[in-house]
Amino acid sequence: MSDAAKPVSHRRLPAWAPLRLPLFRALWVALLASNIGTWMHDVGAAWLMTSLSQDARVNALVSTAGALPMFLLALPAGALADIIDRRKLMIVTQTWAFGVSGTLAGMTFVGAVTPSILLFFTLLMSIGSALAAPAWQAIIPELVKKAELSAAISLGGIAFNIARVLGPTLGGLLIGSLVPVIGKIEAHGAVFALNALSFSGVLFVLVRWKRKPRASDLPPEHIAGAIRTGLRYTRHSPELCAILIRLGGYILGASAMWAMLPLHARQNLGMDASGYGILLGFFGAGAVVAGLFFERLRTRFSSDVLVAVSSLGMALGFVGLSVASQAWMVRAIMFELGLAWPLAMLLFQVALLRNAPEWLRSRAASMFLLVLPAP
């Protein structure tokens, strides 16, 4: 991982140092609220579909509609974010998400939602997320100093994992408490409405941000040409190739958990949906703790050592999941896996953003997102 393979020699900054910057702090808080709303929406959409249709194939299409746009649009989205103003692109995508989730909430309240409509709006939401993701990744180095980049990325992971813990819990509690009051379908509409509201905070911060235009000596590009340029640059960049290859090798084994955990929880552990959600909550809690200590570990140990520790932790966790039969043991193992997973993911992300030139940063982030599974 190039320079990231060695321990960092500069003075260690507190994990929360980037929060001292007003713009980063405002965006971090807004994104935390938005991520909580998104996790609430995901829970609401999944449970609403179980009420609208008993067909297992239709219910499985909810996750497909959520993941497919990222696979199809990651590279074009990265190219687009390198061509146009990233702030304006994020404003457009957040406005899109606000409108889509608000419309879905309204249709749910009046009882007009069908399985097809829910799938369609889930797809629309995912398209907005896919178009915005590379720009969000690439904008981080603009918000903080270079020495604070890894801490800023770690804080982003902490926000995501706090939302992973709180969002499903709050979504489930809200639906459960509102069903006796306004009805089963309408209760899901309240969750969708809160998700729409959560985007307004991000929009407020982005609109108030007066981003300075970035001058470039490069000729204008079209999306297709920008994608080809990004792929060609990456192919001839030993640093970027090494990072993506190592990320792919790590993901090849580690992503088995995301594929098999739901089936393992249902068939082998006898858990229901709430039990599975609790498992994800323990994983998220472990990831939050790992994020808090990430900077301290990064300054003491090389990236190679931390990736090896992360890989070993994932391997031991998988062995534990295969033999554990008690709920408390499985939850403890999920917490341990939550500690191990971010160590490698954050290191790969920091190394990628540090080695990618500014004009290619969004496209590099899109390649990272293509390789990375969506847990």
Using an 8 Å Cβ cutoff, are 341 and 284 in contact?
no
CA distance 163 to 27: 15
For residue 197, give the amino acid letter: L
pLDDT at 3 (0 to 100): 46
**What's the pLDDT score for residue 199?**
93
From 321, 195, 262, select the one nearest 56 (Cα to Cα): 262
| 242-to-182, 228, 348, 352 alpha-carbon distances in Å | 54, 19, 10, 10
Structure-token pair, residue 41: 């929406």
Closest of 201, 189, 200, 258 to residue 41, by C-alpha: 189
Other beta carbons less than 10 A from residue 297's beta carbon: 16
Task: Tell me the pTM.
Answer: 0.75
**Per-residue pLDDT, 216:** 54
- What distance in Å separates the CA atoms of residue 162 and residue 29, rounded to the nearest whole number? 12
DSSP letters, 334-357, are HHHHHHHHHHHHHHHHHHHHHHS-
Q: Name the token pair of 95.
A: 């406005």
DSSP 149-211: HHHHHHHHHHHHHHHHHHHHHHHHHHHHHHHHHH-HHHHHHHHHHHHHHHHHHHHHHHHH--P
Q: Which of 311, 302, 291 is closest to 249 using CA atoms?
A: 311
Residue ranges of E strands in the chain: none
Token pair belonging to 333: 């193992």
| Phi, psi for 219 (deg, rounded to 5) | -70, 155
Q: List domains and CATH numbers for the chain.
A: 14-211+220-371 (1.20.1250.20)
Find the largest Cα–Cα distance for the chain: 62
Mean pLDDT by 10 residues, the chain (375 residues): 46 73 91 90 80 76 80 86 87 94 92 90 91 87 84 86 82 78 80 92 91 60 79 87 88 73 74 71 87 85 89 91 85 92 87 83 82 64
**In 3D, which of 112, 71, 183 has the Cα closest to residue 120?**
112
Amino acid identity at 155: L
**pLDDT score for 14:** 67
CA gap 199, 132 in Å, rounded: 13
Candidates 284, 367, 357; CA nearest to 71 is 367
**CA dist 236 → 135, 158, 168, 229, 240 (Å):** 23, 33, 42, 11, 9
pLDDT of residue 28: 92
